[in-house]
Structure 1
């Protein structure tokens, strides 16, 4: 029997720990069970953004909205920075209390109020699981030449299996993919950037009534929205880190991983968009890539959808528990995987992308005001302590969140679903809905909590009271 050296023993122990099935649910992680460092946030968010949906979001900039590649690149850089900042900041919420962000939502929104965004996250996770499963199935189907059914089964079972094992295994898989995916995508990147028209200019016909300003703002909003969607998950993957984990380092690692992955793949998509509009991974083979490179790219796209969608399955399950459903974490994972697979199976039989695009945009409109409430609560409101000190059914943050959503309605623009009056009369402002919701909710929540603190400080008690949301 060969004896292992110290390094091999440490690696073996780390792998055993990462592949052990997670038993924790949404309860706080004890200090003795905390481990890991902020560097794992880089690999997790980098790998999660190197995927086909990132490619498609960049492609929209040139192929659909008419921006030149350089203009699209600037919009992608700015939008990705906004979304990456949201993930970076929300990642820092995990270590102090050892719980995910949705659990902490109970503080400003109240216990019953927090169940509403938890349910929305659950359905958002199921929807993204479905979309990514379809994309992954198309890639696997093209790669191995099988029917849609077997390819779909391979992808969905892989995603659910990773989420079932849990937190440690997800981080282990993402670390491996942070090495594998760049190698797999390097070929299509070289081909895409060299064969595309990087000197293309603005196409006013494609932009239509949006004009240049509207098209540019919409691309920024789309890029930001992709990462903002992930921000509701971010603390789920840092809650096992020690309490004394550096917030600054954690922010930098999460921000950089998100931003680099998003900018790289989205700018590649924008480059490919100057050649052709790609609706599914299969189109890459038929319209853009030559033989062997197409095969490698299909493998990369199939793997990347699995690494992204396992996050949806895992965090969607936690959201289901936070919403008040009584079941084990592994059972909730099966619920997300089952519902997401069912949606994806039926949607994948037809023109799935068009129907899901508007659905996901509508579903994501709530995230910006929710994030604003959480940021105001964390950085501008004195924290009253653990979640159990938030007994109210509905807190002031719930009102701020709803009012933020209402303020954004006139700016919302989802053709075929709903177009608000301001977006209809001024199409260029149709990309402002999330920003309006964010600013409105943040200001209202700050005003409400400031007034509460003022009343507490001037009460008849000699000691100023701290208002618990």
Structure 2
């Protein structure tokens, strides 16, 4: 009997390693356990953006906000670039310390302060798990002709199972999906682009008081927020990479994968939105796609939502542990899966569409100032006094909170809350996340700079006393 060759042996070893249940929690990954290269960030983020929520977010641009397809494409390109840049940058936070970004949040925000965004990330992950579970269930329900309950159970169990195995298996699944999903989506892409009205113009009636500028800015904000929401996860999927992983290369792989997947599927959604308003995957079958193509598309949508939502389950579990809950990682995965499933089950019985836009915008409002604090801490704060044990609340917590408060007048979630500036000037309602980002970043830079100045002054005074 012929023994397997070196390539087969390496592949077999890689598969065994990837399918071994991960035992690590949120503690730093030892140098001896580090492996993998930056290329896996491309496949992970590309696959994660080739999904129905990307399609629906793009569809909002034309079907709900009245942009023409070319106008929507430009907004999608810009918004996706902002979100992809956030994922690219935060991906580089993983290899140096071997921990996720939320763990590193403890230095600028403090131990207790960092627990608050960790809790928010946990609930955000549960909410995304619910959204994707509903969409996946609709697709599976249409595909196999079963009721919502069995389809929902199949989708949620698959998502939780992938997250339970952990980091290596998630990367393995996403690598496979980076090959499979383009093949499955190519048919609906060709049909959607050729049958839609790509020459459509701006529809002022759909945009309403937003006008063209407001509608365009809102599409940019929604696209940025959708990808931006993943930025709190990004370092979770690079923390096992070697410490000497080149940051620029890692950034380029993560950015490119995110941007390509987002622009492709969102622009396809915008194209379909010129001919029909699609609320669920089932509507694609009834209003847009012919028989055989519809079947393939339902398969693609079902698979893509499962492979995307497993990230929410995995990273939501890590966030729960960082928030201070004492349990094993696998137990935290079950908590996210259970709570997300409960939310999805009740939401899936009605019409989820009306809350989808607000959900995406709210994500950007609180993540943007947190991200600004982390970027300033990483790239602009130099010479800060080292703290082995961060205080309960650091200057970054005040910066994050004040940045969020500064954005309140600009917030616009119709039916929930509309700030005074957004109410009087609807076109500015898409600026909330940008205001929060800039305010928090500037405040954190000023506060930490003043802190370093005081520390340097104390050090100089102490030195003078010693030598006096």
TM-score bracket, shorter-length normalisation: over 0.9
- Equivalent residues in 2 for 1:47-446 (5 A)? 47-381=47-381, 389-446=388-445
After the TM superposition, which of the residue ranges 360-369 and 308-317 deviates more from structure 2?
360-369
Inter-partner Cα distance in structure 2 for 1:285 and 1:468: 82
Alpha carbons 2:94, 2:237 under 8 Å: kept: yes
Give the deviation of 1:344 after TM superposition: 0.4
Give the deviation of 1:358 after TM superposition: 2.5
Alpha carbons 2:226, 2:360 under 8 Å: kept: no
Alpha carbons 1:29, 1:98 under 8 Å: kept: yes
**Secondary structure of the residue that 2:125 maps to in structure 1?**
helix
Alpha carbons 2:221, 2:361 under 8 Å: kept: no
Cα deviation digits, residues 64-115 of structure 1 (max 9, x gap): 1111100000000000000000000000000000000000000100000000
Give the deviation of 1:365 after TM superposition: 1.7
Inter-partner Cα distance in structure 1 for 2:287 and 2:204: 24
After the TM superposition, which of the residue ranges 456-465 and 125-134 deviates more from structure 2?
456-465
Give the deviation of 1:459 after TM superposition: 1.6
Inter-partner Cα distance in structure 1 for 2:430 and 2:459: 48
Q: CA RMSD in A?
A: 2.7
Give the deviation of 1:277 after TM superposition: 0.7
**Secondary structure of the residue that 2:374 maps to in structure 1?**
helix
Residues 460, 91 of structure 1: CA spacing in aligned structure 2 closer, same or farther, 3 A cutoff? closer
Inter-partner Cα distance in structure 1 for 2:328 and 2:385: 23
Residues 468, 427 of structure 1: CA spacing in aligned structure 2 closer, same or farther, 3 A cutoff? farther
Alpha carbons 1:86, 1:231 under 8 Å: kept: yes
Give the deviation of 1:443 after TM superposition: 0.2
Residues 227, 159 of structure 1: CA spacing in aligned structure 2 closer, same or farther, 3 A cutoff? same
Inter-partner Cα distance in structure 2 for 1:54 and 1:95: 28
Alpha carbons 1:54, 1:262 under 8 Å: kept: yes
Cα deviation digits, residues 337-367 of structure 1 (max 9, x gap): 0000011011111112223542453344210
**Secondary structure of the residue that 2:463 maps to in structure 1?**
coil
- Equivalent pairs counted in the alignment come to 466
Unmatched 5+ stretches in structure 2 = none
Give the deviation of 1:461 after TM superposition: 4.4
Match of 2:26 in 1: 26
Inter-partner Cα distance in structure 2 for 1:431 and 1:62: 17
Inter-partner Cα distance in structure 2 for 1:229 and 1:459: 40
Inter-partner Cα distance in structure 1 for 2:463 and 2:85: 35
Alpha carbons 1:411, 1:422 under 8 Å: kept: yes
Residues 54, 468 of structure 1: CA spacing in aligned structure 2 closer, same or farther, 3 A cutoff? farther
Cα deviation digits, residues 163-209 of structure 1 (max 9, x gap): 00000000000000000000000000000000101011111111111
Residues 63, 455 of structure 1: CA spacing in aligned structure 2 closer, same or farther, 3 A cutoff? same
